Amino acid sequence: MGQIIGIDLGTTNSVCAYMDRNEPRVVINEEGGRVTPSVVGFTKGGDRFVGDIAKRQMLINPDATIHSIKRFMGRRFRDVTSDLRLVNYEVLEAPNGDCVISVNGRTFSPQELAAMVLQKIRKSAEDFLGEAVTEAVITVPAYFTDRQRQATRDAGTIAGLDVLRIINEPTAAALTYVHERQKASTIAVYDWGGGTFDISLLEVNRDVAEVRATRGNNTLGGADIDRRIVDWLLDHFTAQHGIDISQDKIVMQRMRDAAERAKLDLSTAPSTEIHLPFLVSDSDGPKHLQCSLSRTTFETLAEPLFQKTMQECRLALQDARIDVDDIDEVIMVGGSSRIPRVQELARELFGKPLNKSFNPDEIVAIGAAIQGGILEGEIKAITLLDVTNFSLGIEVQGRRFATLIPKNSTIPTQKGQLVSTVVDNQRTVKIHVLQGESSNASENVSLGEFELQNIQPAPRGVPRIQVKFGIDVSGIVSVNAKDLRTGLSGEIQIEAPTGMSKLEIERLRSEADQANKQDEAGQALKQLRNKVEKQLVTLESFLRENHGMLPKQDIFELEQALKRGRMALLKADDDRNLRSLLGYLQRFHQHLTKKLSQQASIH
C-alpha cells in the first residue's frame, strides 16, 4: 500500500495532507502554496487551468471560470435556484434532473469539474512526495446527503483515486484534536466554510471520537455573506448613478471580488474602502464606485446568516441532549469562522473561550490524513463513531415516509421493518428508499427504488415483507427486501444515486487520464520551447558581446543558427524537432565559447 493522502475538497479552497511517520504534514502545491483554489478555468482555445492560475482569470473571463463547484455536487437543478445568483457561469438541467455546467459550448457534470481539482491536488502530492498516489480519504460536510457523498466519491474515481473513506469534515477536525490533545473532552466543532455550514458535537478521549449529533446547512457559506455585500454595493451604485449593472457578468465578478476582499479586511479593521473604477460608461462618461464599508454595517448585513448558524448549534445541542455547560471546548473551522462577530456569537452561546490553536483552513485535511494513517496501520487506531446526518426510510401508503434509521444514529447500523401489499393479489412491491426528515415522502431525497416481484397472490395486508436497511462505515446504503411467506428476496445497493453509471464514471476516468496526459505533454512542450527561447537569447547576447572577436564565418553561422531557431519556434509543434534544435544550439554555443577561450590562451 502506497501513501494515503487526506483531501479537504472545499468550496473555495482545497487542502491536501499526509502522514510523515506519526506527524501529519500539509502538501505544498506546485505554486508553493498550502491551499489550492477550487477553481477550474477554460480558454476559448480549449486550454484548461486549475487552481491559482484559474482564479486569476476569473475577473476577465467569468463565464468560463468555474468556482463553488461543491454547491452543485449531487444536487437536482430544481433545488439550486438560489445558488445561481452566486455564480456567473451557466448552470443547466440535465435530462435526469441533475445539474450540469455549460462552458464554451460543452457541458460538464459537477463531478467532472471536481475531478479536475482533485487531479491537480493528486499531481501536487505526487510531485511533493516523489511517488505515485492512488488512494485517498476525502472529507465532505457533515450535512451532505447520500447523493452528494456519492458524487464526491465519483469525482475521486474520475480523478484516478481509490477513495478509501468519505468522512465528515467536523469529524476529521475532531480526529486532529484527538491526535494533538489526547484527553477526554466534550467538544463542539463549528465549521463554516465557503459554501456550507456544519456543527457537530463529539465526546472524545485518548482513542475514541464519538459523534453525538450533527446539524448543518449545505447552502450557507462565505459566498452567501459576500452576496450580501454585493447587493449593498449594487444598491449604492444604483442610488448614485441610476444604472442597473447586475446583468453585466464582468462587473458582477469585480463586485464579488471586492466583496470578498472587504469581508477579509473587516476581520482585522473597523472599516474598509472599496474602490472600483470604470465599472461602466454611458454618454456622460465612465462611472466609478467608491465607498466605505464599516464593520458595523457589514455585521448588520450578514447578521441573519450568522444567526442561522447559531440556531443550528442550538438544535444540535437538543438533538445530542447535551447542556451547553457540558461543552469543554469549541473548535473553529473554516474561513468564515474567522469573522469577529461569528466568534463573539459562538462565545456567547457556548460560554467558553474558543480554541483557535488549529489552522481553520488545514485542520480538516490533517484529520483526513490521520484517518488515512489509521487505515494504513501507520498510527495507533482511533475508534471513530460517526452518525447518520439524515433519517433513512421508505415510502409507504399515502406517500408517507416511514423512518427506519433516525438521524444521528451511530454507524455502521442495520434496521428493518415489515411492509405489506395495499391491494388484493398484488404481485409486486416497490421499495422506494428515501432520506430526510419530512413525513411527506415527496419532500425527502430519493436514493433509489426497486421492485420485489412474483409475490404469492393474497388479500391485501396478508403478505409479510421484511425490509432492511444497512449503512456501513463508508456511508454506503444497502437495502434488502424479503417475502417471509415464500422466502423470495431482492437486494439493491445505493451506489449511484447521482445518475452516473459505473460505465459512465469509467469513461470519464479514461477521458480524464487522457486529458491529463495531454496536459502533461503540452506542459513539457512549453518547457522545451522555453529552453530553446532561453538558449536563443543567450546566443544573441554572446554575439553582441563577442562580435569583434569572432571570424566572419562564425558570425554568419551564428546568425543562421539564430534565424533557424526563431523559425522553428514559430512552426514547431512537436518535441522531437525542438529537442534536436536545442541540442544543436547548445553544442554550437559550447563550440564558439571553447574557440574564444583557446584564442585568449594563445594571446
Which 3 state secondary structure label does DSSP give 186? Answer: strand
- DSSP code for 487: -
Name the burial class of residue 548, with classes exposed (0-12), middle (13-18) and buried (19+) by CB atoms within 10 angstroms of its CB.
exposed
Residue 29 exposure: Cα atoms within 13 Å on the Cβ side:
22
- Among residues 55, 70, 263, 482, which one is catalytic? 70
- Whole-angstrom distance, CA of residue 210 vs CA of residue 206: 12
CB atoms within 10 A of CB 16: 30
Which is nearest to 189 in space by CA: 142, 152, 224? 142
Phi, psi of 105 (to 5 degrees): 85, 0
Phi, psi of 559 (to 5 degrees): -65, -40
- Among residues 83, 135, 169, 210, which one is catalytic? 169
Phi, psi of 496 (to 5 degrees): -135, 60
Catalytic residue check, 20: no
- Among residues 83, 98, 191, 260, which one is catalytic? 191
Element (H, E) at 540: helix 502-546
Non-local (6+) Cβ contacts of 544 within 8 A are none
Catalytic residue check, 169: yes
Alpha helices for 57-168 (secondary structure H): 110-129, 146-158
Q: Are 212 and 320 in contact (CB under 8 A)?
A: yes
Which is nearest to 572 in space by CA: 525, 502, 505? 525
- Whole-angstrom distance, CA of residue 486 vs CA of residue 499: 33
Which is nearest to 32 in space by CA: 6, 7, 51, 57? 51
Element (H, E) at 272: strand 271-282
Catalytic residue check, 198: no
Sign of the C-alpha dihedral computed for residues 544, 548, 550 and 555 taken in this order = positive
Which is nearest to 143 in space by CA: 70, 94, 91, 81? 70
Using CA atoms, how far residue 519 sits from 49, 297, 384, in Å, is: 10, 46, 39
Sign of the C-alpha dihedral computed for residues 570, 574, 580 and 586 taken in this order = positive
**Cell of residue 489, nine digits:** 428476496
- DSSP code for 455: P
- Whole-angstrom distance, CA of residue 193 vs CA of residue 361: 9
Q: Are 66 and 109 in contact (CB under 8 A)?
A: no
**Cell of residue 256, nine digits:** 464579488
- Whole-angstrom distance, CA of residue 538 vs CA of residue 113: 41
Catalytic residue check, 191: yes
- Whole-angstrom distance, CA of residue 301 vs CA of residue 232: 8
- Whole-angstrom distance, CA of residue 573 vs CA of residue 562: 18
Q: Where in the sequence numbering do the catalytic residues fall?
A: 8, 70, 169, 191
